[in-house]
Chain A
């Protein structure tokens, strides 16, 4: 069965620390991959996407993600977290006409 897994339900980091959010998928072919961020009560904002080419993609707000085919992963990273990064993060996968979201990772940033 096709699936998107975000193993970490909740992560807490200190402001200024580095961040990595994990995402794994299971599909036969290389899907299109996305990371979205959602602040409380808001819609989802696209952070970055991977379709093909360079496996390290840069996004908005200083985020980047690396596609690793061998690990079926698309992890999101940021070198230095800001308090405003506290939010819910969703990994998503598109294949054919289907669009699948992971279960989300809630990020708390402490001073």
Chain B
């Protein structure tokens, strides 16, 4: 099973809302990633978790708050977002942090109104 699942598929939220994105993998991978992708652009790395600990934070605004409750789950909590945060949010996982291939979920299409 090389599947990474993400929920919800689509999300529309106002600038004062609080919502969460969820990601799950059952491949036994110990590294998990959040990316933000704008149209026609490559994914931009936001956060990396390694063995459930935050390993990399690419200077992401605090209105994005990641959480890794266990080795299979990764959440991204959203609060007070801006319209420019509208994008496709991709979750990925890899065997470990390092030079390993990453497996991506289908993404959550987020629209901030």
Contacts and interface: CB of A to CB of B under 8 A. Distances in A.
Interface of A: 31-32, 34, 36, 41-46, 49, 51, 88, 90, 94-97, 99, 101-104, 106
Report, as a range, how many residues of chain B touch the other chain: 20 to 34
Given A41-B88, A43-B104, A44-B90, A106 B97 contact: no
B106 A32 contact: no
10 contacts: A36-B104, A41-B88, A41-B107, A41-B109, A43-B90, A51-B99, A96-B98, A97-B48, A97-B55, A104-B41
B56 interface: yes
Contacts of B4: 43
B75 interface: no
Contacts, number: 54
A74 to B, nearest CB: 14
B76 interface: no
A49 B101 contact: yes
Given A41-B109, A97-B56, A106 B40 contact: yes
A90 B42 contact: yes
Contacts of B48: 97
Given A46-B101, A97-B56, A101-B42, 6 more contacts: A32-B99, A43-B4, A46-B102, A46-B103, A96-B99, A103-B41
B100 A94 contact: yes
Interface string B41-57: 11101001000000110
Given A41-B88, A41-B109, A103 B101 contact: no
A42 B106 contact: yes
A43 B99 contact: no
Contact of B105 (A43, A49, A106): A43
Nearest to B45: A99
